[in-house]
Every structure is written in structure tokens, then in C-alpha cells.
Chains A and B, each alone.
Chain A
Amino acid sequence: MQELINRLKELIADGTVVRAIGWKKGDMPYNPEPAYFEKPEDFDNFVYDGFCGANLSKMMIEAAKLEGKTAVCLKPCDTYSFNQLIREHRVNRENAYIIGVGCRGKLDIEKARKAGIKGIKSISGVDIEGDGDVTFDTVYGQKKMAYTDLMLDRCHVCKGKDHVIFDEVIGESKDTGDADRFEEVIKIEKMTPEERFAFFKSELSKCIRCNACRNVCPACSCRKCVFDGVKFDSQQKANVDSFEEKMFHIIRAFHVAGRCTDCGECSRVCPEGIPLHLFNRKFIKDIDDFYGEFQAGKDPEAQSPLTDFTFDDLEPKDAVGRGE
């Protein structure tokens, strides 16, 4: 982490960049926040550890419009989102100095809570250079958890530790992928329609329409979002009918279909723990099956599958009933 801070300070001092975007300490040890850094003393609060799951690429939409270059710290998965933003002309590459930061998996505090760890005072073993278990110092004494057991689900299906776009890379990464990302989708596909309907109904009924999943999503960068429009009464605060839950989730996922890099931010930020990735990955899986494998953000020149076609594409009637 010190190496990263030193390098960012250096880049600002020598005028390469005017400011940096990174993470600063939050009010608890497990919730660092995205932040701008300009003056040397700003860096006193800089942090980059296992809890820095936040994808900073979306902040570059704003930052790339400012005067002068901005240094931005991007994890390997975040670089896919950045590429996608370039593809959609939402960021100006020239105004970004990308520091690819190493990653050994990011952590999910909910997993500690589920394991019964409460009253956390401080946490150690989450440093980016570290190795070994995570230790929680709580008001009820010391608790330990294996780093991998605490990892976000998305890190178990990591796309790989190569930065797809960067100016320089700082820090080592460690491979964390140990699961198949379509496993859960396939499991649902195998259920009966009644089971599937009941499953989604119970998950989606938890939604409080806070819009956090949309707001955090690097692919959701429309200046005017359909969910803010009064015209379609689609901006309700709370869902008063189960139709709205379905509508919101289908449309949200549909709007990012072919553009979603599977960065996992939507599922990470949902305060209700709704597995939003199940929608995105269903679209990704279908796109792979119907139109050939596609990874959004891998190549900023590649045409998104939904703005493309071939003359002999699959007919919609053949897209359903495949499991029957």
C-alpha cells in the first residue's frame, strides 16, 4: 500500500496528474470509501486493503471531464468496466492515468456477520500484501476467519488477474477463481417454472428500490434513466406490487445486457442481499449460447452483441423451452 501511496504522490508532485482517485478510510475498518486525493495530507487517510471492493471506474465519468489528468486505481476486474466506458464514449482515455492495482480477492463483511462475528473493533490480516487468516478484534474477544471464506462471491469466479487496460501496475495479485460462474444460473434453469417463480418472488420481494444497484453499476451511466422518469411511473420508491419488482429487475438487467462486465458491484452493494448477478449472468450465458462467447470490456473495439446481428440469428421461439 505504501508503494502505491508514494507513487500517487509522486505523480501529483511531478505534474503528470492533478488528482488521484482511490479509497479512504471509512468510519469502520470494513467500509472504506471511494475518494479524491489531491494534497499530500489527503493521503493520510488513503487505504487499499481487502475491503476495497468498490469499482472506481464509474467515478472517471466525472473525473475525466475535469481539467488535467486523473490517476485512478483499478483492480483487474475494474479495468473491464473502464474499457466498456471507453467503448461507450463515457470517459476520455486521455484524461486518465490508470494504475492497475494488485488483488488477492476482496472481502464481504456479511460473511463475517453470518459466521457470528459481531462488535468489530479492528481487523488485521486484510492487507493487500498479506497472506493467511483474517483476525477480528471484537468486543467479545478475538475471532479468526480464513481469507477465502470471507471473500465476495464474485472473487470466487474472478475473470483473471490481468489488467486489460493500464498505464502501470503496482502490487502482486493472487488467483482466486475456484468456481464456475454459471453454476447458480444452471441450477435455477433446472428447476420447474413454479420453483423458479417462487424463488425469484421471494428474492425480489426484499427489494426496497433504493436504486443502489443501478447507481453503482458502471454500465448504468445514462444521464436520463428510465427509473427516474415520471412518465412510466417506474420510479416508485418502494414496490407496491410484485409486478414492479419484476419489472425493475428485468429492465435493469436488460439495459446492461451485452455491456455488463460481470464486475459484481450490484450484488455487492444491495443492502438486501439480492443476488442481482443471477439476472446479469443469465443474459451473459444466453448471449454466449446464442451469439458466441462475449466478454464485455475485454476489448474496447468489440461490438456489443445487442447492437449487432447476423442474418441467421436464433428465432425468439427457439430461445425458450430449451430444457424441455
Chain B
Amino acid sequence: MSMNEEKKEFRPLIVAFCCNWCSYAGADLAGSSRLSYPADVKIIRVPCSGRVNPMFILRAFERGADGVIICGCHPGDCHYSTGNYYARRRMALLFSMLEYMGIENGRTRVEWCSAAEGAKFSKTMNEFCEKVKSLGENVRLGDIRCKN
């Protein structure tokens, strides 16, 4: 009985693409400062937010993610100077297209977070998880073959 109840509670799976130089370090800081963020956040380290190909995001959704967040250095602080400026344009267009196709707003997000902002990282992840949780399971961008 209690096992069934446990199963019912929806825990969103979040994929976070984190830039190696800022947000990934930010996540590290959050950890070493003992700030918590949900265990359902799976971090994938990328060299720069500019490395995030729209295909990565769609694939994450396909394989069962309920929300995808991209974290990079603050505009002006990208370690490759301009990667996040390009990422900002790409993601703006991609998110708008997903909305246009009827995918719920709020499943995707971009957040700028520096290596010193461990607290911001933890807060962002908690908020994002709550948001995605309220949206429920990702059905519209999933692939039934990837469900078990």
C-alpha cells in the first residue's frame, strides 16, 4: 500500500546543461556549502552554454526529461567571450518555437549563474523543479519507446 502511494507522487526529471566555468562550479559551491537542490536534477557539463545544440534539448525530452535548464555564465562573462550571447538568441527562438507547437511553457529555462553563486544555483534548481512538477509529466515531447 505504502509502496503504491510512493509511486504516485510525481517527481520530475530535470536535465541541467551547465557551463563548466560558471554554473558547474556554482553547483559545486552549492554542494560544498551544503545548500540542497533536488536529486532529480541531472547535471550535464558542457564547455560553454554556446555548446548546447537544440538537438540536445529535444533528445533530453525524448529520453524522459520533464524539464531542461541551460545554465551559463552571465552575459559578458563567458569564458569564450561570446558563446552565451549566441546561446541566448538560439534559445529564445527555440523556446518560442516549442511554445508555438503547443509544448507547455516553463519546461525550458535559461539561467545565468556564476561560480560564486552557489545559493542562486540551489534556489534556481528548487524553483525550476517546483515549476516543472506543477506542469506534470512531459508527454508532448516524449517518445513512448523510451518509457519503461
Number of A-B contacts (CB under 8 A): 118
> Nearest Cβ in chain A — how far from B54, in angstroms?
5
Interface digits, B115-148 against A, CB 8 Å rule (1 contact, 0 not)? 0000000000000000000000000111111000
Q: When the two chains form the complex, which single residue of B82, B96, B101 contacts A200, counting CB atoms closer than 8 Å?
A: B101
| Residues B104 and A193 in contact, CB atoms below 8 Å apart | yes
| Residues B96 and A309 in contact, CB atoms below 8 Å apart | no
A197 to B102 Cα, complex, angstroms: 4
| Residues A254 and B85 in contact, CB atoms below 8 Å apart | no
> Nearest Cβ in chain B — how far from A68, in angstroms?
40
Interface digits, A256-292 against B, CB 8 Å rule (1 contact, 0 not)? 0100000000000000000000010011001100110
| Residues B97 and A254 in contact, CB atoms below 8 Å apart | yes
Question: In the complex, which range does the number of interface residues on chain B fall in?
Answer: 35 or more
> Nearest Cβ in chain B — how far from A214, in angstroms?
15
| Residues A316 and B101 in contact, CB atoms below 8 Å apart | no
A96 to B23 Cα, complex, angstroms: 50
| Residues A251 and B103 in contact, CB atoms below 8 Å apart | no
Q: A241-B145, A250-B54 are in contact. Are A309 and B94 (CB under 8 A)?
A: no
A189 to B29 Cα, complex, angstroms: 41
| Residues B94 and A243 in contact, CB atoms below 8 Å apart | no
Interface digits, B30-72 against A, CB 8 Å rule (1 contact, 0 not)? 0000000000000000000000001100110110000000000
Q: A246-B141, A251-B58 are in contact. Are A316 and B85 (CB under 8 A)?
A: no
| In the complex, A167 has a CB within 8 A of chain B | no
Q: A241-B144, A283-B97, A314-B92 are in contact. Are A320 and B85 (CB under 8 A)?
A: no
| Chain B residues within 8 Å of A, Cβ to Cβ | 54-55, 58-59, 61-62, 75-76, 82, 85-86, 88-105, 108-110, 140-145
| Chain A residues within 8 Å of B, Cβ to Cβ | 188-189, 193-200, 226, 232, 234, 240-241, 243-244, 246-247, 250-251, 253-254, 257, 279, 282-283, 286-287, 290-291, 305-311, 313-321
14 new A-B pairs (CB below 8 Å) besides A241-B145, A307-B86? A193-B99, A193-B104, A197-B101, A197-B103, A241-B143, A250-B94, A250-B97, A254-B54, A254-B93, A257-B93, A283-B93, A306-B89, A316-B88, A319-B93
